[in-house]
Amino acid sequence: MSGGPMAIVKPEMKSYIWLQTADGSIQQVEQEVAMYCPVICREVAQNSTGSSKNNAVVLPERVNAAVLGLILDFCRFHQVTGRSNKERKIFDEKYIRLDTQKLCELASAADSLQLKPVVDLTSRALARVIEGKTPEEIRETFHLPDDLTEEEKLEPLRNMTDDPRIRLLNRLYAKKRKELNERKKLKNVEVEEQQRVDERSVDDLLSFINGGDGDSKGVRETKNKKKTRGRKEQARNNSPNNEAGNCNKESSCLASGCLNGDISDVSSPSRNSKLQNSASATFPSKLDFDDFDMDDELDPVMQEKIDREVEDFARRLNCDWPEILSLAPERRLGPISMNGNGSLKRCTAGVDRG
């Protein structure tokens, strides 16, 4: 055992900082660990707090005792200078394995303490949680209330919520949902499946990244892919616009990793690959992957009925889309014109936007 008094660290020899969290608890922490936090560091330096129990550094509101523990774990590891980058990375990856609630709390606390590395880690982890999930799944994971009306869900598409077409859409949606829920009780089919069918009927109609082409399902399961096939076929027969909604039931699983636009990358000298890539045409085949799924697992009769209704509705909606969306020559039917009280009337003459 190496001798000398310094080998045994007596508590009195280390200096401590006193911290008080929002919930009133006061604890003392080794100085070098606490000082790793910019906010604490500043408090101690400028206001000379933290030297005693009575004069503890008051931490921001969002930091409670439990989360403070996590923060300090991070600080304790990283403030040690000798560690290699690899070690730090490994620690970070393990550190971030928390449930989502904790991640949110940690992100919030780290932000109030201005501990940027932890903010970055938690943000990235939360993004990974969100990535590829359907809205339902995300809502469940984060306990979000599903408090948007159907109209509002479509809102990015149309800013007017009293548009008669939207109302019609809502009614159809509500009806469909009711129908399917009843079927579900009768047939005892998986809930998820039906909800997906449900949403898709709406999605099909909307050519938009939101509910629209983002088919809200992060289509991982083949089940999803298969379902869209039928509808796409139908919709396509009528107008290319309809299936705009279906564009991409696939992709999340196909598309690789992150879009990295980091300008500080030292790019490798030969970028000829860029041109080669454009010629290799692997992308189109990937995007079309989804189109070739076959088996529809829904009851074919139901499927057909839904398809017909969707078709019908789509046709009607499609006619009056603004120019940038529509492909004018594709119109099969006359447009719908609205009369005063908002009821729909189909007119056969001319191409009148009303």
Partner 1 sequence: MSVVKQRILPHHPCNAELEVDKISNLPAQIIDKILSHLSLRDAVRTSVLSSKWRYKWVTLPNLVFDNQSLLISSQDQTFIKNKIVNIVDHVLLLHSGPIHKFKLSHRDLQGVCDIDRWILFLSRGSVKEFILEIWKGHRYKLHSSIYLCQKLIHLELFNCLLKPPLSFSGFRSLKSLDLQHITMEQDAFEHLVSSCYLLERLTLMNFEGFSDLKIHAPNLLFFDIGGVFEDINFMDTFNLAIVSIGLYVNPGFDRNLTLGSAGNLVKFFAHLPRIQRLEVQSFFLKYLADGKVPGRLSTPCNELSFLSIRINFNHFDECLAALCLLRSSPNLQELELLARTEDQFDLRTVANVMEENYQNCMFNQLRHVKIAGISGVKRELNFINFLLANSPILERMTVKPASVDGAWEMLKELLRFRRASVQAEIVYLDP
Distance CA 155, CA 133 (A): 21
Instruction: Give the end-to-end CA distance of the chain in Å, rounded to a whole number.
Output: 93
Binding-residue total with partner 1 (CB under 8 A)? 86
| CA geometry: angle 347, 350, 354, nearest 5 deg | 65
Subset of 216-245 contacting partner 1 (CB under 8 A): 216, 240, 243-244
Say whether residue 334 binds partner 1 (CB under 8 A): no
Distance CA 88, CA 268 (A): 27
Say whether residue 204 binds partner 1 (CB under 8 A): no
Say whether residue 117 binds partner 1 (CB under 8 A): no
Least distance CB 90 / partner 1 (angstroms): 21
**3-state helix vs strand vs coil in the chain, percent to 5:** 55, 5, 40
CB closer to partner 1 out of 148 and 333: 148
Q: Which of 64, 251, 303, 337 binds partner 1 (CB under 8 A)?
A: 251
Subset of 127-156 contacting partner 1 (CB under 8 A): 127-128, 130-132, 135, 138-139, 142-153, 155-156
Say whether residue 25 binds partner 1 (CB under 8 A): no
Say whether residue 308 binds partner 1 (CB under 8 A): no
Here's the x/- map for partner 1, 57-96, by CB under 8 A: it reads as ----------------------------------------
Other beta carbons within 10 Å of 341: 6
Q: Which of 312, 302, 303 is nearest to 172 (CA)?
A: 312
Say whether residue 325 binds partner 1 (CB under 8 A): yes
Torsion angle of the four alpha carbons 324, 341, 166, 189, in this order, in degrees rounded to the nearest 10: -140
Q: How many residues does the chain have?
A: 354
Q: Which of 291, 296, 297, 307 binds partner 1 (CB under 8 A)?
A: 291
Say whether residue 345 binds partner 1 (CB under 8 A): no
Distance CA 269, CA 239 (A): 46
